[in-house]
């Protein structure tokens, strides 16, 4: 089967250009004009492809690779096969990302799914909306009154941009997404199915029923934020929900009302963040983390996957578990539980062995008389 051309064939890049991007000189004897026109895994890369290596699981694949260019972590340099051009780097992955961006620029952010150049006839744009030149709008998209969208932004098929929403330049608003009650900066990527600015979950609970509390805040999304498919960001109740510059949010993440997320945070899939929680800059939440409301996670803190945070986390801390606690304490508890569990297993096995022996009618198991103390003596 022929591979479908989802991304256009890239313009080739020379080894000399790759060395400049990676800020690493080519080894002696390597032709700087040799062209690279693809990227591939170690075991599939041919003479026209670049590959990278920074994981010990793939040492064998590295040793047999025939790539046209390898980006290799310094600790694996000895495993590079003879004759294969290799750049030895402290961190090869960022260099590989930069080279991929050069080879496949269309893969950096979602574009028009219809090939729209300008506003498609199948879209609905309110006459009071303001779109700068260079905005692309796919069929089925709806843009409400007084919305403003900056140049270079793409609004994909069936997306809904609500009244008075402001979206900056060079953004991507994915198919079937909705953006309401929100102000969005420049270079923001919103993937398909994302919901931004809907009601927060606010009710005055009572014995006779639960009274809905109007949610009158906004969502503020700063520059260069990326929001994964089918994630949801509720608007604030009485103040704004804020996503800081450069933060990256994975698919299927729930961010509740009044949450404030700092700059350059990373939030992995299926995480839920309850209302009025604050994440300071550079926080990392692993997959399926749950965070209770009204807590603060300090700058640079990291929370392990599947953990539940129910208290403030100090800056720079590494926590995990349920409830989350410092990683050393968590590991110590897990080790202790494992030891106790194994001890119980051994105890149960010994007890079962004794019961089985007694049931077999072996009198020696019942006789606790010391040897040599019988009546015959």
Residues pairing with 143 in the sheet: 125, 161
Sheet strands (E) in 256-344: 260-261, 266-267, 272-273, 278-279, 284-285, 290-291, 296-297, 302-303, 308-309, 318-320, 325-326
For residues 298, 302, 305, 307, the Cα torsion angle rounded to the nearest 10 degrees is -40
Which of these is catalytic: 257, 264, 294, 346? 257
Q: Judge whether 294 counts as a catalytic residue.
A: no
Name the residue among 113, 111, 245 with its Cα closest to residue 170: 111
Nearest Cα to Cα of residue 323 among 348, 304, 347, 346: 304
Reduced to 3 states, what is the DSSP secondary structure of residue 354? helix
Three-state DSSP class for 328? Answer: helix
Q: What angle do CA 283, 286, 288 make, to 5 degrees?
A: 130
Taking the alpha carbons of 350, 355, 360, 362 in that order, is the dihedral positive or negative?
Answer: positive
Q: Which residues are catalytic?
A: 257
């Amino acid at each position: 089967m022929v591979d479908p051309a989802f991304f256009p064939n890239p313009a080739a890049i020379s080894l000399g250009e790759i060395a400049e991007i990676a800020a690493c000189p080519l080894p002696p004897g390597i032709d700087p004009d040799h062209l690279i026109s693809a990227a591939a895994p170690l075991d599939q890369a041919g003479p026209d492809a670049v590959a990278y290596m920074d994981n010990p699981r793939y040492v064998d694949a590295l040793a047999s690779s025939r790539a046209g260019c390898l980006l290799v972590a310094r600790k694996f340099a000895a495993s590079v096969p003879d004759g294969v051009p290799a750049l030895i780097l402290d961190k090869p992955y960022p260099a590989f990302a930069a080279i991929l961006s050069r080879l496949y620029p269309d893969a950096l952010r979602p574009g028009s799914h219809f090939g729209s150049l300008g506003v498609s006839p199948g879209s609905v744009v309110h006459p009071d909306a303001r779109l700068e030149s260079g905005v692309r709008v796919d069929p089925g998209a709806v843009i409400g009154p007084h919305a403003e969208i900056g140049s270079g932004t793409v609004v994909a098929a069936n997306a809904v941009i609500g009244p008075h929403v402001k979206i900056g330049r060079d953004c991507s608003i994915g198919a079937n997404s909705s953006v309401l009650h929100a102000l969005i900066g420049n270079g923001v990527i919103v993937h398909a199915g994302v919901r931004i600015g809907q009601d927060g979950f606010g009710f005055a609970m009572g014995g006779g029923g639960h009274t809905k509390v109007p949610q009158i805040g906004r969502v503020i999304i700063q520059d260069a934020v990326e929001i994964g498919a089918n994630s949801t960001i509720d608007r604030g109740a009485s103040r704004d929900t804020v996503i800081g510059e450069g933060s990256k949010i994975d698919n299927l993440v729930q961010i509740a009302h009044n949450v404030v997320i700092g700059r350059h945070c990373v939030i992995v899939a299926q995480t839920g963040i309850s209302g009025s929680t604050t994440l300071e800059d550079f926080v990392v939440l692993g997959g399926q983390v749950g965070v209770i409301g009204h807590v603060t996670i300090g700058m640079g803190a990291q929370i392990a996957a599947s953990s539940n945070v129910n208290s403030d986390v100090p800056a720079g801390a590494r926590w995990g578990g349920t409830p989350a606690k410092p990683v050393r304490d968590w590991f110590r508890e897990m080790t202790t539980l494992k030891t106790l569990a194994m001890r119980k297993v051994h105890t149960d096995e010994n007890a079962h062995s004794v019961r089985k022996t007694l049931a077999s009618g072996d009198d020696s198991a019942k006789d606790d008389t010391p040897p040599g103390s019988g009546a015959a003596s």
